[in-house]
Amino acid sequence: MKYQTRKKAIILLADGTIFHGKSVGDKDGSAVGEVCFNTGMTGYQEIFTDPSYFGQLMVTTNAHIGNYGVREEENESDKAKISGLICKNFSYNYSRPAADGSLSSFLDDSNLFAISDVDTRALVAYIRENGAMNAIISTDVDNIEGLKKQLKEVPDMNGLELASKVSTKEPYFFGKENATYKIAALDIGIKKNILRCLAERDAYIKVFPFDATYEELSAWNPDGYFLSNGPGDPQPLSGAINLTKKNTGERPSVIRNLFRAPGNCFGKWNFNL
C-alpha cells in the first residue's frame, strides 16, 4: 500500500471560522460554494453526482469515504455536480470487486478538489447551529485575506437560479413506450434513480427542460406530471411555479399512486410557492 503525502488545507467559512484538514492526492487547489452535509453511511457516488448538490461543497459525516470505489451505473447524472468534497478519512484503495475504479480517479476525472482529515462532525454541528453559509476549501493556507476576498465574490444561494445549469436541453424519453402510464417530468435536476423508480412502476416518462411550459407538457397528453429535485432557490423559477399552479388538481393522483407524491425535494418547494 502506497503512502500518500498530503498538503495542509483549510475550510474557511463565510463568518471567518476555520477548520483544518489535508488535501486529497497531495494537490494544490481551491473550491468554493455553499457548504452542505450528508449523513449517509453509503452512497457517496450517488451524492456527488446528484444535480441537487450542484455547486455546493459536500461534507460527508461517515468516517470513511472511497473504501468501496465507484461504479459507472451508480451515477445519478452525467457527471459530478458538487464543487468540492470535505471528509474525515479518504480511502485511496477500495475493496469492492464490482467497482470500476477508485474514488481518487473519479475525483481526478471530474476535476474535483477534495480535502480530508477534517473533523466533519464538529463542522456539521457548527453549520447546524449557525446556519448554511458559503465557504472555500484551499491549500493556500497562508493567504487567509486573499481567500476571504474570493469568498465574498461567491453568490448567495438565496435567489440563485441553478436549474438551467443541470437540466436537459432537449426532451427525452425513459422507460417502455407501451407502459400503462405516461408521465411528463419537469427536469429541474432530476436523478436517474427517480426515472428508474417510475419506470419500475409501469410508467413511460417524457423528460422536459426546466423552462418547458404547461402547454408543452400537456400536449403529450400524460396521465400525470412530476416535478423533480434540483439545486438553488426555487423562487426565481416562475415558469415551474406557474406550471405547478396550472396542473395542480388536474391529474396528480397517478403520480401519488406510483411515487407517493407529485413532487420531489425541489419540486415540493414549487408546490409551496
What confidence tens digit (pLDDT) does each residue in 131-165 have?
Answer: 999 999 999 999 999 999 999 999 998 899 999 99
Q: How confident is residue 23, by pLDDT bands cut at 50, 70 and 90?
A: very high
Q: Which domains does the chain have, with CATH numbers?
A: 8-152 (3.50.30.20), 163-272 (3.40.50.880)
Residue 6 CA to chain centroid, in angstroms? 27
What confidence tens digit (pLDDT) does each residue in 181-214 have?
Answer: 999 999 999 999 999 999 999 999 999 999 999 8
Nearest to 256 by CA among 207, 230, 223: 223
pTM of the model: 0.88
At residue 261, the pLDDT reads 37
List the 224-227 sheet strands across, edge first. 172-174, 203-208, 181-186, 224-227
Give the 3-state secondary structure of residue 102: coil
Distances (CA, A) of 55 to 8, 34, 46: 23, 7, 15
Mention every residue, 6+ apart, whose C-beta is less than 8 A from residue 196.
none
Residues 80, 103: Cα–Cα separation, whole Å: 12
What confidence tens digit (pLDDT) does each residue in 227-268 have?
Answer: 999 999 888 888 888 887 776 655 443 443 333 334 455 444
Give the 3-state secondary structure of residue 52: helix
> In the chain, what percentage of residues exceed pLDDT 90?
79
Output the average pLDDT for the chain. Answer: 89
DSSP string, 145-198: HHHHHHHHTSPPSTT-B-HHHHS-SS-EEES-TT-SEEEEEE-SS--HHHHHHH
Residues 105, 107: Cα–Cα separation, whole Å: 5
| Residue with the three cell numbers 425541489 | 266
Mention every residue, 6+ apart, whose C-beta is less than 8 A from residue 220.
182, 184, 206
How many other CB atoms sit within 10 Å of the CB of residue 15? 11
Whether 273 has a pLDDT exceeding 90, the answer reads: no
At residue 239, the pLDDT reads 81
